[in-house]
Structure 1
Amino acid sequence: MTQNGDHIREFEQARPLLIGLAYRLLGSRAEAEDVVQDTFLAWSGTDRDVIEHPRAWLTSVCTRRSLDVLKSARRSRTDYVGYWLPEPMATGESATPETDLMVSESVTMAFLLVLERLTPKERAAFVLHDVFAMEYVEIAGQLATSEAACRKLVSRARVNVRQAGNTKPAPRDLQQCLIDAFQTALRTGAADDLAGLLARDAVLTADSGGKAASILGPVKGAERILTFVSRALPKFWSGYSITVAEINAQLALIVRDGPAAHAVVSFRVNADPWVSEIMVMRNPDKLRGFDLPD
């Protein structure tokens, strides 16, 4: 194999790690792929012989680029139309080998939403240390700060994560019950089973980015959610196909109009366990990965 071939092979071996890192930092698969591509270009233009630890070098470049994108994204999200949700990603059988590192409790929608509360450096330090098990001294070099500062960043981030409540996937049997109950409410209008799973103060949120018809504000309270799911949604989704898939390490629903993904429905479950949030992704820019081939 040529030297250039070795260069590419080394990068491809690190790609799952880089995708997993960038996705957690950005909450967007599309942005993560762009960051990893930028990292590859930097890697291709560098003399490999001067790089003592290739994986550390790649992680460092990917982290810095992600932070640049994250700072810009946070500014643009202040002008975002409606509610913002992370871009969903398949993590089940339909996922690609590149997403192997995504299947964990640190990729649930709930976890990604908690990360949104953190400052960019808190987010990076926490993900690098608590998710990817990197040492503080290594993280300090990547973030251009001191080891003591990194410890403080991670400590503050952990407080926010703990205060957010449960971010882990729900037990699998509960996930299936929830999927069944939601589909029953859509199909028949009978919402008793779903009512037995919702927290009283549950919310239903939707992300359209102003690019698709959707609610702009949250639907608050179990009673209002039940009415919306059993009466309003069936009118909008009549004739659409609905399939079950593992998305962000939990069972979710994909609603399609022909081959085109119309919505992805995900759920957040408290430690109680009660469903605290139903999340509906309607932004077409975030649904492209769920379209079927023509």
Structure 2
Amino acid sequence: MPIAAPTDSALVFSRLRPRLFAIAYRMLGVRADAEDVVQDAWLRWDGSEQAALQSPEAWLVTIVTRLSIDRLRVAKAERESYAGWWLPEPLLEVDEHTPESQAEMAGELGVAFMWVLERLSPDERAAFLLRQVFDYDYSEVAGLLGKSEAACRQMVHRAQERVQQDRKRFGVDQDAHRSLLGKFLDAARSGQAAAIQALLAANVELVSDGGGKVPSFPRIIHGIGAVTRLFCRTLDKYPGQVEYRSATLNGEPGFLRYIGGQLESALAFGIQDGQITGIYVVRNPDKLTGIPQHI
């Protein structure tokens, strides 16, 4: 049976899909939720009067943004009872197979950045992302969110104030990022405490997300000594069983940690001034299903 050729409607949606997914994922931090939002947008798009639309992109981005806001409101309420700290589901090898989709998913997508976004309200998060990441002007943001331009400016300003200090960690040169983490990988594999300490900032933090499914730390771990001891103790606890593998997580260099050949966690990093300022350890198995489970 011959395969039906895609319609103009399907082609338009396919062209915009990478941007729609990029917005939804940055809003929600969970691949399946972002894909559900995009699928819902497709159903609405397929049933719409497209000929009357002045801008298919504006219409679809509006739908995806508002669906994401609604879903994030529900998610935030659920995350209040989440066991421990909530980190986004890491995307392994961010690549949707086209240069356009790679461009949409590049940039400020890292786990450290997503961690900071969690402190924003859903509306603030949407306004901030549309303006600062996707480069819509304020009049466009206002139209997409159905709010006044003044209100959007105020939301973006508030969001900037909340994330400004942490944003210094972002925009690190990829080669420098990769070089620093290569040194850390060698140090973590060998358990050389002094080598690990030399790469950590004095105010380094480690956040662990087990989701109540596996053990994780109920508090954020602060300081060079405490973080170093955690890596060294892991090697001591599982002699000869700990393997670290380099990986691209959310478009940035990171690690996968295997213990006894089984995936134990995905580790992402925040970097500033040539030192590691944040380590974000995703251990919740529900968030690791898209990553090879065995060496």
Q: TM-score, normalised by structure 2?
A: 0.88
Q: CA deviation at 1:99?
A: 4.5
Alignment-derived partner of residue 228 in structure 2: 226
Quote the residue 1:85 is aligned against.
87
CA shift, 1:259, in A, is: 8.1
Moved more, 173-182 or 203-212: 173-182
Q: Superposed, which structure 2 residues align to 1:17-166 within 5 Å?
A: 17-91=19-93, 96-97=97-98, 98-104=101-107, 106-166=108-168
Cα drift, residue 8 of structure 1: 1.1
Q: Distance in 2 between matches of 1:137 and 1:191?
A: 52
Taking the aligned partners of 2:234 and 2:75, their CA distance within structure 1 comes to: 33
* Residue aligning to 1:193: 195
Greater shift in the superposed pair: 182-191 or 75-84: 182-191
Report how far residue 130 of structure 1 moved.
1.6
Q: For structure 2, which runs of at least 5 residues remain unmatched after alignment? A: none
* Comparing 14-23 and 173-182, the one that deviates more: 173-182
Give the Cα separation in 1 of the matches to 2:65 and 2:201: 37
| Cα distance between partner residues in 1 of 2:196 and 2:96 | 28
Q: Could you tell me how far apart the structure 2 residues matched to 1:79 and 1:112 are?
A: 19
Residue 189 of structure 1: how far off its partner (Å): 2.0
Shift in alpha-carbon separation, 1:91–1:291, aligned structure 2, 3 A? closer
Q: Is the 8 A contact 2:113 2:167 kept in 1?
A: no
Distance 2:281 2:88 in 1: 11
* Conservation of the 8 A alpha-carbon contact between 2:37 and 2:68: yes
Identical-pair percentage: 37
CA contact (8 A) 2:238 2:259 kept: no
Q: Which position in structure 2 is the counterpart of 1:288?
A: 289
> What residue identity is the alignment partner of 2:282?
M
**Shift in Å, 1:164:** 2.6
Whether the 8 Å CA contact 1:240–1:255 is kept in 2: the answer is yes
Q: Secondary structure at the match of 2:86?
A: coil
| Alpha-carbon distance between aligned partners in 1 of 2:52 and 2:232, rounded to the nearest angstrom | 62
In 2, the alpha carbon distance for the partners of 1:234 and 1:69 equals: 42
In structure 1, the residue matched to 2:212 is: 210
1:250 is matched with which residue? 252
Q: 1:213 to 1:95 in 2, by over 3 A?
A: farther
What is the CA distance between 1:159 and its match in structure 2?
Answer: 1.7
Task: State TM-score, norm by structure 1.
Answer: 0.89
What's the C-alpha RMSD, in Å, of the aligned pairs?
A: 2.6
SS in 1 for 2:162: helix
Structure 2 counterpart of 1:218, which letter?
I
The residue type paired with residue 38 of structure 1 is D
| Structure 1 unmatched runs, 5+ | none
2:127/2:155 contact within 8 Å kept: yes
Cα distance in 2 for partners of 1:174, 1:39 equals 39
CA displacement 1:8-54 (0-9 Å, x = unmatched):
11111001100111111112222111111111111112122222211
User: 3-state DSSP class of the match of 1:80?
Assistant: coil
- The 1:161/1:214 distance shift into structure 2, 3 A limit, reads closer
Q: Do 1:24 and 1:112's aligned partners in 2 also have CA atoms closer than 8 Å?
A: yes
Offset at 1:197? 1.2
Amino acid at match of 1:141: G
SS of the aligned residue for 1:289 comes to coil
| 2:191 and 2:235 in contact (8 A); partners too | no
Post-superposition CA distance 1:231-270 (Å, at most 9, x none)? 2355348535432112123210112468864311111112
Distance 1:3 1:177 in 2: 46
Change (3 A) 1:259 1:187: closer
